[in-house]
Structure 1
Amino acid sequence: MANSNRVEHASETWLTDATVFEVNRTPAHSNHKCFTHDPQSGEHSDLTQSLDGEWRVEIVQASDIDFNEEPFVAENFDDSSFCRAQVPGHLQMAGLLKNKYVNIQYPWDGHENPLEPNVPENNHVALYRRKFVVSKRLADTKESGGSVSIVFHGMATAIYVWVNGLFAGYGEDGFTPNEFDITDLLHDGENVVAVACYEYSSASWLEDQDFWRLHGLFRSVELTAQPHVHVENMQLEADWDAESGTASLDATLSVRNASDAATISATLKDSEGNVVWEASTNADANTTFASGSLQGLEPWSAESPSLYELEVNVIDQADNIVEAAVQKVGFRRFRIENGIMTLNGKRIVFKGADRHEFDAKRGRSITEQDMIDDVIFCKRHNINAIRTSHYPNQERWYDLCDEYGIYLIDETNLETHGSWCLPGDVVTAETAVPGSKAHWEGACVDRVNSMMRRDYNHPSVVIWSLGNESYTGDVFRAMYKHVHDIDPNRPVHYEGVTKNRDYDDVTDIETRMYEHADVVEEYLKNDPQKPYISCEYMHAMGNSVGNLDEYTALERYPHYQGGFIWDFIDQAIYATQPDGSTRLCYGGDFGDRPSDYEFSGNGLVFADRTPTPKAQEVKQLYSNVHIDVTDRSVSIKNDNLFISTGGYQFVLRILADGEPVWQSERRFDVPADSACTFDVEWPVDLYRANADELVLEVSQRLAEATDWAPAGYELAFGQTIVAGTKAAEDAVLPADGIVTVGRWNAGVQGSGREILLSRTQGGLVSYTFDGHEFVLRRPAITTFRALTDNDRGAGHGFERAQWMAAGRYARCVDNVIEQVDEDTLKAVYTYELATPQRTKVTVGYTADTTGRLNLHVEYPGESGELPTIPAFGIEWTLPVQYSNLRFFGAGPEETYQDRKHAKLGVWSTDAFKDHAPYLMPQETGNHEEVRWAEITDENGHGLRVSRANGAAPFAVSLQPYSSFMIEEAQHQDELPAPKHMFLRVLAAQMGVGGDDSWMSPVHSQYHIPADQPISLDVNLELI
């Protein structure tokens, strides 16, 4: 199809002209599917042709490109010397450019200092070439008067495109399609497309997201044909009236060459293929359909994502179907009503995460399976919402969110953090891009327009976002107006107004980042005028996500409507090392400077998409079903908006000292948005006498398999503890036991075991069973933990440096060893901690001829201005074979004081599984609320640690590395091959925090005060 307005020659000036962001690009439109119809078979034929696969590529400098005479675009150009690279794919992943990671700063900062909208002189250009033959079905469409376009679904950062040596177009904003009509540029036989893909353009100023700076054609490239009469755009309003229970569909269609068609028909079908509505009208350039009230349809929500299919047929004068346009439809109404966001008339709470498109091998060039895996993770962990941080995602992602049921904040490809922010979070408004600068308005409005036109019809999209961390200004007013001119219904989100409240009018939602829960509560308690969400919170960097419950507790306020955890997946890249091994790398590992190093590792899933231990906490606290258990009842609060709990199975269990002894299955039918209490006759009397404590547990499970989990999958649980009445067992001492008190050592022998306590070494130096030694060096006092990312960011290391050495270099200043009776030996060692106060800590051992050993460590508390203690207890080096851990405590994953909404039970793991591979090695593997733990080899031989009678539960971890080894390493592969195991038995460890990873300390209630006594009292036994 001829285009008389086509620009026929490329210009290098466009690269640094902020007002030029597209040339010859097809106007943005909906991503509905288009087909031609075969009247004989009655089948539809797809009108797309993939150009994915191997392309020829060469990297040059921008200064090497001559736009007046560029030979590489010619059909007969010899590209045999070019490299081969896969499309979709990144140039960095192909080894053609260096990986670069920065957060706020622009990647050229310090090397060059261009002023916007200019770009660095060191500007790489990838020259891509590919040959193709237009498929028959597309060629036939072209020959019958239709058109053919080439579509680049994702690229970075700007592209010039030629087909058969002729200029096709220029495009920026690589996260929405750049489509060019190439009908007149094609010929029969083999065609050639050439692309100059620039690393930097003026668009780079608008794309300063916290991510790896990756370039190239990273999403699919395809040809698409359109018949002569073509539905160019669909804009659907699929409304649901909760009051009447009726649906309605209003469709506005933009039809090219409508005068050459006779009629346009519309048919709506349910998932079974049944027609629920149909209509027909005369063809018009702006064809509209209005269904009126539709009865008997199901509304769409994340809880019940009911979808219908709309098929629009363009019919010619001979009554033939020229084109079929197909779009999935979900009926729902999302509004702000009385200051509260509602879905189908109900207040909604987003239990969300921020998600970058990322894969450790492919960068942002992710696959459909990656997307399916991500959706399944969300559904299994009660995550009901995703913010597409900070750009529109692949089109297939929106289809999946429609199908599985995920709410989306769809975010414009816009972040300019480094243009207005100086180190120390100093705002420089005058340098902000786009601010109120008129030359940026067109590009920014175009970006939000491209996103909206593409994604408008997806029911999963409930909020439009104007971008991220780009300050504010008049440009955002223009963007906001444009959004509501197109869509008066969905609200607009933009957090940047928190930097300048003069622009509060450009967001319909009060949205903040990393605001502490108590500050959020102040907003909620003081006549809020807008609904509140935290568009980023719970910075999940490394070992994090502590005190999430403080945020979920805010759900009691109507205007609090949830938040989005930063973020979904660790952004780390696999790289081969000089020795041939492969490891996950972060910023700076590729020689990239400047860099923000490991700050890319904030995921709820690791870079290989395996869940992190943090996900356990998120799953429980994000659950829509809350279960409270007593010894007489079960109370269920159903926060689902539309579905009852009647379709779930509830499993009741009794655990006697952690082991299951009774189970029953029930159905508790609690209507949506309500709560009920059910009487339960727990048979506790049958088990109380044989247990120290009983755990009563109720779990919500899937009664039937879904697309995202099998039947029986657990979504939530509730537990309570009932005291048992088991009598304490009297210790039976063997008749052949021996207690020996020597000049240097004292020992106890009996039951095949021997315990040796040293006067000079300051404690236990040998503990053997049938000759197997369990003490390589005496258990040492520890007052330290390997710093977490949050510890480093909050300065905990600086403030608590004395505790790093206090236990490690503590010295024994006294010991008292005495034989209590003929079967019992007691030794008390007094240590001075290596602090200016020289605080005295006692370590006591009581051993008897059964081979049992009591360990009692006592810190008295120290007056004065002392920082809180990171951890307190003992760290014990064991032989390497003792790597298995079985424990009765909160689990199964690691837990901490501020992150232990976990199930109490008996769990089995090992030191290797318990070492979470955070990007930067750090504290990991801790288990709270432990009653007993068994550390064994593969034959079940080992050590049992249990709380002493009347003592509090303790914390335990078993790692292949010591705390100091972990602290020293900067990558997981820097940790040595394990030669020992390291057991930590702690009276307490501080929480991990989670408000952010650069400023906020662990909350005070999760610290260990230095001025209060701390006691560890456990029994040890070789088994």
Structure 2
Amino acid sequence: MTDVTHVDRASQAWLTDPTVFEVNRTPAHSSHKWYARDPQSGQWSDLKQSLDGEWRVEVVQAADINLEEEPATAESFDDSSFERIQVPGHLQTAGLMNHKYVNVQYPWDGHENPLEPNIPENNHVALYRRKFTVSAPVANAKQAGGSVSIMFHGMATAIYVWVNGAFVGYGEDGFTPNEFDITELLHDGENVVAVACYEYSSASWLEDQDFWRLHGLFRSVELAARPHVHIENTQIEADWDPEAGTASLDAALTVLNAADAATVRATLKDADGNTVWQTTGDAEAQTAISSGPLQGIAPWSAESPTLYELDVDVIDQAGDVIECTSQKVGFRRFRIEDGILTINGKRIVFKGADRHEFDAERGRAITEQDMIDDVVFCKRHNINSIRTSHYPNQERWYELCDEYGIYLIDETNLEAHGSWSLPGDVLTEDTIVPGSKREWEGACVDRVNSMMRRDYNHPSVLIWSLGNESYVGDVFRAMYKRVHDIDPNRPVHYEGVTHNRDYDDVTDIETRMYSHADEIEKYLKDDPKKPYLSCEYMHAMGNSVGNMDEYTALERYPKYQGGFIWDFIDQAIYAT
């Protein structure tokens, strides 16, 4: 990221600058829940306020507006002529933009020929607006010295944000949260948020997934208040030693304004609410929590997804709890041992599927019930694992996989297939994005960082993926390094090294797409160093999955660890 911080004016130049992928965005952090006591009512609140529901929107050609002077961003703008749209939702499913589906190529191929990082002239921007009054718990937290952010959980493809006419920030990577501090911009009474959501930006070169190209604010938007003293981030290691039969809990905390609190108390509870372990320490010093060996802990696995709850309380000088955080914890050990992927000391075989978030009416703006239906279907049909192809999913999905017991490969929002593969799978190395191009490194490292910071504490996440079908290059080495700088334990998956074995070091697993069973067996017989996974195989869209037995027969080789069928649900949109 170039040095673009605390900017108070929007610039359209960011749309074609790959080194600018966020402006004024809050650093990525864990998705734990936090609660505080309302100083007015005395009631506990999660300090969240949903901005979902009806918004106003107008879709225009990007060339027809000047962001620096766009009247629709003003607080007093009359938006009565704008269309109504539901958020979460897509512009296409609302009938405001045309549906597009392309596989390898970029959606502008055959129409325009921009060279990266430039974007096509036929580019749409949706001007969103919503009025809101700040809820009492959020407003009271602000008045008590806290802060308030606006959080966009999912959008495509790039957004500029204003509150009450003042520029807030810019964000890309719409499959992880884009969060901005708006504390100083809110006022009593009615407030206005305005968003310019662009169809294409330089980020589009990194988002060439084989799916319907759907745009808009497709996940929830919310306000989130933080009390003055706040646990901003938790990074939890919940280990289970299969030899000793004991567990251990280690957590790193980031506490904002810790000097203004007295103590931090951590409590581990079982499913019945019984306290299993507890510790208390000085708030400024208590940035690391360590339990030592814990007896009687049941390990987490897909077959037995036992969860505990870690509550961390911030206590003031008077002995009152001023904030509490809550995070579900599953104790398990996932490692590569002697070249074999193991969970809790036992070899694992992934009986998986690649899953897009998708509904025939709502597109990727799926509901909690959609997710519950999917995870129950998995459990009923012996699907024990999902690869989040090809982007991080909604946060609720990970909670459900923790609860029901589903193993996850968590995949970075990155696919650049059309930049290096011409029709007929002809390699064009000079056009590769990101490859080894330094100007793309910051954005790609940021994407894997944002995913990991958000999802780190979920026991269901076993493997980190650097993305999909984006060839390889030095940028992936930088991404791989970031993963293991943050997480020394979970392995990295990246299939792209099969196209250039000089980069075998950027994946901990030998992972291939659509390899024949005899090719896999040849690998397994050759004393391989790495375990083997088929990250895509059996292409089941409209097919019968007829030769599955040839793959299940490979399970006799210890380093064959299963795979993920393409794909879980057909991406079909209802049409008349």
User: 2: distance between equivalents of 1:203 and 1:277?
Assistant: 45
How far 1:38 moved relative to its partner? 6.2
Q: Which amino acid aligns with 2:146?
A: G
SS at match of 1:196: strand
Larger Rg: 1
2:575 pairs with 1:575: yes
- In 2, Cα distance between the equivalents of 1:106 and 1:321? 53
CA distance in 1, matches of 2:285, 2:209: 39
The question of 1:517 aligning with 2:517 is answered yes
Match of residue 153 from structure 1: 153
Provide the residue aligned with 2:126 in structure 1: 126
1:71-110 → structure 2 map (5 Å cutoff): 71-110=71-110
Paired AA for residue 421 in structure 1? S
Task: Indicate the residue corresponding to 1:313 in structure 2.
Answer: 313
How far residue 286 of structure 1 moved from its aligned partner, in angstroms, is 6.5
Query: Which residue does the alignment assign to 2:206?
Result: 206
Matching of residues 50-449 of structure 1 within 5 Å = 50-284=50-284, 287-449=287-449
| Residues 472, 500 of structure 1: 8 Å contact kept | yes
Which of the pair is proportionally richer in strand?
A: 1
1:892 is matched with: none
Distance 1:299 1:77 in 2: 56
More helix by share: 2
Quote the offset at 1:372 in angstroms: 0.4
RMSD: 1.3
Q: How many residues align?
A: 573
Indicate conservation of the 8 Å contact 1:44/1:324, yes or no: no
Partner of 1:7: 7
Report SS of the residue matched to 1:574. Answer: coil
1:68: how far off? 2.5
Q: Deviations over 1:93-112 (max 9, x none)?
A: 00000000001010000100
**In 1, distance between residues paired with 2:202 and 2:351?**
36
Deviation track 1:758-793 (CA, whole Å, cap 9, x = no partner) reads: xxxxxxxxxxxxxxxxxxxxxxxxxxxxxxxxxxxx
Q: Is the 8 A contact 2:352 2:383 kept in 1?
A: yes
| Superposition deviation, residue 39 in structure 1 | 9.5
Q: Using the alignment, how far apart are the partners of 2:41 and 2:92 within structure 1?
A: 46
What's the offset of the Cα at 1:284? 2.0
Give the aligned residue type for 1:475.
V
Q: How does 1:494-505 map to 2 (within 5 A)?
A: 494-505=494-505
Equivalent-residue separation in structure 1 for 2:414 and 2:40 (angstroms): 48
- Matched to 1:95, the amino acid is G
Structure number with greater CO (CA < 8 Å, separation at least 6) is 2
Partner amino acid, structure 1, of 2:103:
N
Q: Is the 8 A contact 2:39 2:141 kept in 1?
A: no
Deviations 1:154-185 (A, max 9, x none): 00000000000000000000000000000011
1:998 corresponds to: none
Distance 1:38 1:61, change over 3 A: closer
Deviation string, structure 1 residues 411-437 (Cα, Å, up to 9, x no partner): 000000000001111111221100000
Matched residue SS, 1:68: helix
Q: Deviations over 1:713-749 (max 9, x none)?
A: xxxxxxxxxxxxxxxxxxxxxxxxxxxxxxxxxxxxx
- Quote the residue 1:668 is aligned against: none
- Once the two structures are TM-superposed, the CA of residue 541 in structure 1 deviates from its matched residue by 1.9
SS at match of 2:162: strand
Structure-1-length-normalised TM-score: 0.55
- Alpha-carbon distance in 2 for matches of 1:476, 1:517: 28
CA distance, structure 2, for counterparts of residue 329 and residue 346 of structure 1: 20
Q: Offset of 1:42 from its aligned partner? A: 8.6
- Provide the rounded CA distance (Å) in 2 between the counterparts of 1:431 and 1:141: 50
Residues 136, 373 of structure 1: alpha-carbon distance in 2 compared, 3 angstrom cutoff: same
State whether residues 388 and 410 of structure 1, in contact with CA within 8 Å, keep that contact through their aligned partners in structure 2: yes
User: AA paired with 2:127?
Assistant: L
Residue type at the aligned position of 1:503: Y
Counterpart amino acid of 2:60?
V
- Hey, what's the Cα distance between the residues in 2 that align with 1:562 and 1:297? 29
Which ranges of structure 1 fall in alignment gaps of 5 or more residues? Answer: 577-1023
Output the amino acid matched with 2:298. E
Deviating more after overlay: 67-76 vs 488-497: 67-76
C-alpha distance 41-152 of structure 1, shift in aligned 2 (>3 A):
closer
- Give the conservation status (yes or no) of the 8 Å contact 1:149–1:180: yes
What's 1:861 paired with? none
Please report how far the alpha carbon of residue 46 of structure 1 lies from its aligned counterpart in structure 2 after TM superposition: 1.4
Amino acid of the structure 1 residue aligned with 2:394: Q
Contact 1:256–1:285 (CA under 8 A) maintained in structure 2: no
Letter in 2 for 1:229: V
Partner of 1:20: 20
CA displacement at 1:544 relative to structure 2: 2.5
Deviation (angstroms), 1:202: 0.3
Q: In structure 1, what is the Cα distance between the partners aligned to 2:328 and 2:44?
A: 16
SS at match of 1:302: coil
Alignment match, 1:466: 466
Q: How far does residue 44 in structure 1 lie from its aligned partner after superposition?
A: 3.2
Q: What's 1:47 paired with?
A: 47
Measure the CA separation in 1 of the matches of 2:163 and 2:43.
32
- The one-letter code of the counterpart of 1:168 is V
Q: Distance in 1 between matches of 2:332 and 2:162?
A: 43
C-alpha separation in 1, matches of 2:458 and 2:70: 42
Secondary structure in 2 matching 1:120: coil
Structure 1 residues 60 and 41, CA gap change in structure 2 (3 angstroms):
closer
Amino acid at match of 2:551: Y
Residue identity matched to 1:351: K
| Aligned 8 A contact 2:39 2:144 in 1 | no
Name the amino acid aligned to 1:23: V
Contact 2:240 2:332 in 1 (8 A): yes
Amino acid at match of 1:497: V
CA shift, 1:64, in A, is: 1.5
The residue identity in structure 2 corresponding to 1:156 is A
Any idea what SS the aligned residue of 2:81 has?
A: coil
Distance of 1:575 and 1:149 partners within structure 2:
38
Q: Distance in 2 between matches of 1:381 and 1:25?
A: 41
Alpha-carbon separation, structure 2, partners of 1:356 and 1:527: 35
1:130 Cα deviation from its structure 2 partner: 0.0
Which residue number in structure 2 is paired with residue 31 of structure 1? 31
How far off its partner does 1:41 sit? 9.8
Give the secondary-structure state (helix, strand or coil) at the position aligned to 2:302. Answer: coil
Structure 1 counterpart of 2:470, one-letter code: S
Secondary structure, aligned partner of 2:55: strand
Show the 5 A alignment for 1:754-769: none
SS of match in other structure, 1:314: strand
What whole-Å deviation, never above 9, does each CA across 1:647-684 have from its counterpart, x for those lacking one?
xxxxxxxxxxxxxxxxxxxxxxxxxxxxxxxxxxxxxx
The residue aligned with 1:893 is: none
Q: One-letter code of the match for 1:86?
A: Q
Check the 8 A contact 1:254/1:285 in 2, yes or no: no
Is the 8 Å Cα contact of residues 264 and 286 (structure 2) preserved in structure 1?
A: no
Q: Partner amino acid for 2:462? A: V
Q: CA deviation at 1:393?
A: 0.1
Task: Find the counterpart in structure 1 of residue 537 from structure 2.
Answer: 537
CA shift, 1:52, in A, is: 0.2
Which deviations, in whole Å up to 9, do the C-alpha atoms of 1:86-132 show, x marking residues without a partner? 00000000000000000101000010000001100000000000000
- In 2, Cα distance between the equivalents of 1:390 and 1:62? 27
Distance (Å, rounded) in 1 between the aligned partners of 2:285 and 2:507: 34
Does 1:450 pair with 2:468? no
> Does the 8 A contact of 2:38 with 2:141 survive in 1?
no
Query: Compared with structure 1, are the counterparts of its residues 5 and 317 closer, same or farther at alpha carbon in structure 2 (3 Å cutoff)?
Result: farther
The one-letter code of the counterpart of 1:530 is: K
1:818-857 equivalence runs, <5 A? none
The CA distance in 1 between the partners of 2:112 and 2:505, in whole Å, is 37
- Structure 1: how far apart are the matches of 2:285 and 2:214? 41
CA-CA distance at 1:319 after TM superposition:
1.3
Identical columns (%) = 80
Shift of residue 6, structure 1, vs aligned partner: 1.8
With over 3 angstroms needed to count, the CA separation of the structure-2 counterparts of 1:483 and 1:400, relative to structure 1, is same
